[in-house]
Structure 1
Amino acid sequence: MARTILTILLALVFGSLGASGVIAEAPSTLTVQVSTEPPGLDLTATPASATAGVVLYNVQECLVKIDRHGKIVPWLAERWHTSDNRNYTFFLKRGVRFHNGRELKARDVKFAIERAMNPETRHPYPKYYEAIGDIIVKDEYTITFSLKTLNANFLLNLARQGSVIYPAEAVDTLKALPIGTGPYKMGEWVRGDHITLHRNPDYHVKGLPKLDRVTYRFITDPNAALAALKAGDVDTSLFGLGPEHVAELGKDPRFTVIVGDTTNDVVLAMNNLRKPYTDVRVRRAMTHGINRPEVPLNPYYVDLSGAMPYDPAKAKKLLAEAGYPHGFDAVLRVSPQYNYTVRSGEIIASHLGKIGIRVKIEQVEWGQWLSRVWKEADYDLTIIGHAEAWDIANYANPKYYFRYDSPTFQELFKKSEVTLDDRARRDLYVQMQKLLVEDAPAVWLFMHPRLAVAKKGVQGLWKDLPIPAADLSEV
């Protein structure tokens, strides 16, 4: 029986983790390895999780926060109130200061969110704020959001990476020198090598952060990351090690292995506006032609794994019905900065080759992927993990790089956004997921697990990642 993609990537991990050793005293500095250098540091300009991994909750913060347990908690706002789910009043913490020394005021919140709502700023997630009708500054520490319609995800959207609060005078420097209220201040960015953050001595949470300095080192190659860990050049690997490396390090008493959950759903995206992917039979054939697992992480998930199972014979039949009895050629664009896309791509190319689809893998740099695939939809096929939580909204956006345009799906999603009753909202999510199975705009592959390794004695790293942030404030 063919092995699933996730099995191939993770079989080496479980059952191989060694026993823990003695906890050592934590250092005052931390060097972390990440696989991808951010394309920029402006969270209001890029959707890249590599940017969020450095900036979100470390340098810049939001009114509310997703904590390590996935709960929405007060943050820059010490509390909020609503009596009708249409008008939300937030009461800001007093004495919170930006890194430039100026105190955070309600007008700063109004500025940041209104700028996100402005189409001219080309914010990556403008739909998060569509329900907002007015933002009213009541006084220096009180602000009210008046919604045009109910929005079940309103608070969640205010905790996301595009909703960080920053001073108006810092807009022009956000790309390379973001200023916020976070536990760390931006230090230096040596392109191609590292980013350094420094402790914010005026941080508004007493006792945090615990580190004086954090350095992010960009090491793309998993073998090089492994060597850096073993040599002591880095203290922890947050993302990029292969499962076989995690298994190896799990047996080494010098290290602690962290295996947890994420919201990073990895998909094989198809350009729904480009032939032959305009034909639903082709998209269904490709779905049937890939042997993949089903690993849910969403409370509104419904198990539809049997609806379109691995079935190469049926896949060939659908291709023939669509006019491709001998298959066709396709280009799969992946980014080597995310090694799992290359490894998964090789497996998928093998699977699709068995049903007649001849896949050529083209590796492009991350910046190129963002400009060509994500922005311009210049691709046939691609693989990437979508780290943002509750991202089903992407399928309701016909301009998203999937180019999936279903009025039926869009209407279902629109209803879900204004439905506050949990049972009724779940029913809508079930309908949406069933429609996605039928339309097959992308092939859901697997949930990318949290695979991190740290030196013994490094404590405070999150086990699970309910949001694409590498919050280091408690490390």
Structure 2
Amino acid sequence: TFEITSIIYDTLMEVEEDGSLIPGIADSYEISEDGLIVSFKIKEGLRFHNDKPLDASAVKESFLRLMEEESPRAKDYAIIESINVISDYELEFNLSEVNSEILNQFAYPWSAIVEASSDNLRSKPVGSGAYKLVEWIPQQHIALEAFDGSHRDGSIKEVKILMIPDASAQINSIEKGDLDLIEIPADSLEKINEEKVDILRFPRNGIQLMAMNSANPYLEKKEVRQAIAHAINIPDIQAAVWNGVGIQIGSHYPPGVRGYIDLAGTYEYNPEKSVEILKEEGLHGKIELRMMLPKSYPEYVAAGQIIANQLEQVGFTIDQEIIEWASWLSDVYNGRDYDLTIVGHTGRLEPYALLAKYISTGSENYFNYKNPQLDQMLAEVKEERDLDKKYEIYGEIQELLAEEIPAIYIQTPEKIILTSKNLKGYKEYPVIVTNIRDLYFE
């Protein structure tokens, strides 16, 4: 997983807690005036865990592997036309089109720099990161030790990652002092003895929502979507389904991402207002909707059942259908054969990756929402290279989505970390990484 690989490997750029970027193994970088060439100078003297040099040629070979057609991440790097090695520690990436957030692609954990001769990355990973693999026993543990050739050292010299699938067993172990750091599910939070461990909570980079299919003539009407929004009590859903662990949101934008605006409660819970709107539209008691819920995600099924009950209380008729995940993907997401559905979306460093789902002609617009104003804003924000202007547009997009409500934005889930009382320095990032080098014992 990326939690593990991020410990062993390095990337050209690195992500800070707030989503900003700093050089990783890159000493410096430059983007050409036309935005089509990204140049990097690599820190000199770096080596892989097998003592082979980490230079510009090694970086090029690693990206060529990532860009191969069979690579699961090839499409993320499709705009790279060629990679030129300029000198031992300098190289440039030539792009087919401008991407104002291209540097993010060099910071994701899957852009890790891999030693070219490594033939079994799954069992014998060779990186240049702060820790190197000592032992891996599947289903038992992974042992790591600090790598003294890293460009950023950690203070903890030895790390053992134990495979303990049962949350209760993990909690018992950390409270007894046998573990120093674990992640727990929301429903375990109330069981924790705060005198024995520290509890840390962070917003994840993702959102959970109820999508509404605007291809349905009723749901195409903003007034009907407003009536739905007023009928739903989101805090009640959070308490019942997620044990109150989560951050209520008002648009398709996670709180931990740069530029977030708190728009929760744009449409407050007001079932009387919901009924009033439906009566004004002559639709009270006349709308029947199909709610498709993915069986593989019990929390979404539970949330859907609560929402269905709340909607029925104001006059909607909701037909619920629980389906297999494969059917959800084929029929709901790709086939767009639904009226309502509950699902989650994982974010990226660039907000555009989430928001592009609303492009009218986009293949991922399973909302079937069409808004020329939003299309124009998304086109502008994609091209804008001035970061202040870019995030000003992102703010305007959030406000538009909060007002137009093509979906009911429920919450961003929280990540709950427990640490031993003397372990300090844990940081959460908007990408899937675990930087053990941040940690230290008091």
Same fold (TM over 0.5): yes
How far off its partner does 1:389 sit? 3.4
**1:262-301 equivalence runs, <5 A:** 262-270=203-211, 272=213, 279=220, 285-292=227-234, 293-294=248-249, 296-301=255-260
How far off its partner does 1:97 sit? 3.0
Alpha carbons of structure 1 residues 278 and 354: separation in structure 2 relative to 1, 3 Å: closer
Alpha carbons of structure 1 residues 52 and 230: separation in structure 2 relative to 1, 3 Å: same
Match of 1:258 in 2: 200
**1:48-447 equivalence runs, <5 A:** 51-55=1-5, 57-68=6-17, 70-82=19-31, 84=33, 86=35, 87-117=37-67, 120-123=70-73, 126=75, 128-129=76-77, 132-170=80-118, 173-174=120-121, 178-186=125-133, 187-188=135-136, 190=138, 193-205=139-151, 207-208=153-154, 210-219=156-165, 221=167, 223-232=168-177, 234-242=179-187, 244-245=189-190, 248-250=192-194, 252=195, 254-259=196-201, 261-270=202-211, 272=213, 279=220, 285-292=227-234, 293-294=248-249, 296-305=255-264, 307-313=266-272, 315=274, 325=286, 327-333=288-294, 335=296, 347-355=306-314, 356=316, 358=318, 381-384=341-344, 386-397=346-357, 398-400=362-364, 402=366, 406=370, 408=372, 409-437=374-402, 440-447=405-412
- 1:124-162 Cα distance to aligned partner (Å, 9 max, x none): 7x3x54554542211231111234444331222321233
Query: After alignment, is 398-407 or 105-114 more displaced?
Result: 398-407
- 1:368-398 Cα distance to aligned partner (Å, 9 max, x none): 9999988998986233352533344233143
Taking only the aligned residue pairs, the percentage that are identical comes to: 22
- CA–CA distance in structure 2, aligned partners of residues 473 and 162 of structure 1: 19
Alpha carbons of structure 1 residues 202 and 349: separation in structure 2 relative to 1, 3 Å: farther
- CA–CA distance in structure 2, aligned partners of residues 323 and 352 of structure 1: 11
How far off its partner does 1:74 sit? 1.3
Gaps of 5+ in 1: 1-50
Alpha carbons of structure 1 residues 370 and 79: separation in structure 2 relative to 1, 3 Å: farther
How far off its partner does 1:104 sit? 2.2
Match of 2:237 in 1: none
Match of 2:429 in 1: 465
Gaps of 5+ in 2: 235-247
Query: After alignment, is 416-425 or 107-116 more displaced?
Result: 107-116
- 1:3-29 Cα distance to aligned partner (Å, 9 max, x none): xxxxxxxxxxxxxxxxxxxxxxxxxxx
Q: Secondary structure at the match of 1:62?
A: coil
- CA–CA distance in structure 1, aligned partners of residues 334 and 327 of structure 2: 10
Alpha carbons of structure 1 residues 279 and 69: separation in structure 2 relative to 1, 3 Å: closer
Q: Secondary structure at the match of 1:238?
A: strand
Match of 1:31 in 2: none
- CA–CA distance in structure 1, aligned partners of residues 218 and 70 of structure 2: 32
- CA–CA distance in structure 2, aligned partners of residues 97 and 369 of structure 1: 46
The alignment's TM-score, normalised by the length of structure 1, stands at 0.70
Query: After alignment, is 294-303 or 196-205 more displaced?
Result: 294-303
In 2, are the aligned partners of 1:63 and 1:159 still within 8 Å (CA)?
A: yes
For the pair shown, the structure with the greater C-alpha radius of gyration is: 2
- CA–CA distance in structure 1, aligned partners of residues 330 and 172 of structure 2: 32
- CA–CA distance in structure 2, aligned partners of residues 185 and 334 of structure 1: 39
- CA–CA distance in structure 2, aligned partners of residues 341 and 472 of structure 1: 33
- 1:394-422 Cα distance to aligned partner (Å, 9 max, x none): 33143338465647444422321221234
Instruction: Supply the AA of the counterpart residue of 2:114.
Output: Y
- CA–CA distance in structure 2, aligned partners of residues 473 and 206 of structure 1: 8
- 1:312-369 Cα distance to aligned partner (Å, 9 max, x none): 3555655987898253342322656xx865775565455445344547585979x999
Alpha carbons of structure 1 residues 405 and 111: separation in structure 2 relative to 1, 3 Å: farther
- CA–CA distance in structure 2, aligned partners of residues 242 and 326 of structure 1: 35
Q: Secondary structure at the match of 1:473?
A: helix
In 2, are the aligned partners of 1:394 and 1:400 still within 8 Å (CA)?
A: no
Alpha carbons of structure 1 residues 345 and 323: separation in structure 2 relative to 1, 3 Å: closer
In 1, are the aligned partners of 2:215 and 2:368 still within 8 Å (CA)?
A: no
In 2, are the aligned partners of 1:262 and 1:467 still within 8 Å (CA)?
A: no
The number of aligned residues is 410
How far off its partner does 1:216 sit? 4.4
- CA–CA distance in structure 2, aligned partners of residues 197 and 228 of structure 1: 18
- CA–CA distance in structure 1, aligned partners of residues 109 and 211 of structure 2: 26
In 2, are the aligned partners of 1:82 and 1:88 still within 8 Å (CA)?
A: yes
Instruction: Supply the AA of the counterpart residue of 1:386.
Output: T
Instruction: Supply the AA of the counterpart residue of 1:214.
Output: K
How far off its partner does 1:65 sit? 0.3
Q: Secondary structure at the match of 2:293?
A: strand
Question: Which structure is richer in relative contact order (CA contacts within 8 A, separation 6 or more)?
Answer: 1
- CA–CA distance in structure 2, aligned partners of residues 197 and 374 of structure 1: 40
In 1, are the aligned partners of 2:82 and 2:94 still within 8 Å (CA)?
A: yes
In 1, are the aligned partners of 2:146 and 2:153 still within 8 Å (CA)?
A: no
- CA–CA distance in structure 1, aligned partners of residues 351 and 101 of structure 2: 11
In 1, are the aligned partners of 2:153 and 2:437 still within 8 Å (CA)?
A: no
Q: Secondary structure at the match of 1:121?
A: coil
- CA–CA distance in structure 2, aligned partners of residues 374 and 199 of structure 1: 44
Instruction: Supply the AA of the counterpart residue of 1:249.
Output: N
